[in-house]
Structure 1
Amino acid sequence: MPATVVDAVQLPLPCACRCHETLTLDERAAGIEALYRFDDAMRGWGQTVIWDLAAPTLWRLQQQLGDVKWVAVRDNGCIHSRLLGFCVHELIHAMCGDPSKPNYGTPVGLPYGVPEHVSPTEEAAYLHPFNQHEARAWVGLAPVAHRLFGIEWTLLPARDVGTYGFAGGNSLCDVPEGYRKVPHYDHHQHPRRYDSLARKLEDEAREWFTPDKLGEIAAKFEDAERHGRAKRPAAYPAPREMARLKPKKPGRNDLCLCGSMRKWKQCCGALVEV
């Protein structure tokens, strides 16, 4: 069975951010309450959040399977900065698309490929809306987290840079069946060009988060949250009780927490930054 939000908060892991030490008990409780509310909203939209430490692997599997309503949010041991940041990032993506559809209506082959029917001359235009949404999800962590959850500490994004598909370079990545690889600018091979294009997108994205837009996001979120909360499979533990739990790292030879039946050191333990 996939891990649940309760599994994630009941077994806190050490993290490089040292959240358990740097955040107050009230802040940690607010963070856990925010994770509960995110889980409710996604359930309200018909999505299944998977809380295992396996987001990259699950994303690749989702690309292969196609139309599945999975939201994999965890690739790191950190809960209050990285995981919560990942969740807010996903919320913004959902708000930019149709949250009731698989991958919020975005084709799973993006941003490094396009459907085969898209001509090479139309690749950049086809990818642009995805890039816009990614930029909003990248720069919107702080305003959205504050508006929805009252969070004021720094949230960390899922990756070091935004995942954009800028057509025109020479980098190629594997894409699912039915898609064509798009030669693109990669942030490792073309850092200056990539950063320049990303900066322009992100500057435009910041202007999207007006007070009215944040109010609209909050209304949609709270409506989905109400529906999802009514469908909780069981009562969730009190956030404050979970916030008191001290991080504990599994033994290297213990079974992994994700249920893979592999050793921790050979499975999710390799993904946890400490």
Structure 2
Amino acid sequence: MNTLHSIAQLRAALARARQENKRIGLVPTMGNLHDGHIALVAKALQRTDYVVVSIFVNPLQFGANEDLDSYPRTLAEDQRKLLDAGAHLIFAPNVSEIYPEGMDGHTLISVPVVSEGLCGASRPGHFNGVSTVVGKLLNIVQPDLAVFGEKDFQQLAVIRKMAHDLCLPVQIMGAPIVRAEDGLALSSRNGYLGEEQRRIAPRLYQTLQQIQQQLESGRRDFPAIIEEARLALIEAGFQPDYLDLREAETLQPVTSASQDIVILAAAFLGATRLIDNLRVSLA
């Protein structure tokens, strides 16, 4: 398994793989890999012959007061994990390789509708940064398949719409959330949690499960369900960012006729922002 840092080196390696008629898979990451990332690699390996994992902490998707400088960078450990996982190539560019003329004035990809509200409201510009860097990576690698985690549910919707709208010849595939034994969705940011915060953190998923149970039991007073759950999160020690019910396919607000629903949440424990979601079928 090679680790390459330049676009030219990467394209040369991929040209050789294509000459051997290999189907190319891409798993974009920001590094600091955990079992959730490795599950994405495993999914790509099941469906392609040659898997590229990109590791790039993208400044364009971080807000002014977010954790760009402190975001963990663990390339050596990531390399060991990816070697064990069976990945074929790591693409680990620096910022100047991806943004050689800087980010000011750089072309942005903006995906309307699905990027609005939820994380799009609380992190202005975030999805422009995500869609731009993912668009660049898809163009650089030109994979047959790219795999993304469903924990970032809105992000996956944004990427799917971008690929569709721009007629990109790539299959975008989601992979289920990987959770710790206590239910906490795995995330690189979980490492920021203190011991007591880590004990509280699974309550976020438990709250989503409680909403699911109420919906499946036939309750349909959606605003009241959400408000009760929001207050429960506050009582548990969270500072909710958002908690909402949306149509799973469109991310539009739910109605009494909605059948495929996703419960979406983001909440702070101290300075750490956790996100999670749970899909519910009411058909």
Fold shared by both chains (TM-score > 0.5):
no
Q: TM-score range by the shorter chain?
A: under 0.3
TM-score, normalisation: structure 2: 0.26
TM-score, normalisation: structure 1: 0.27
For CA contacts below 8 A with separation 6 or more, give which structure has more relative contact order.
1
Structure with the larger strand share = 2
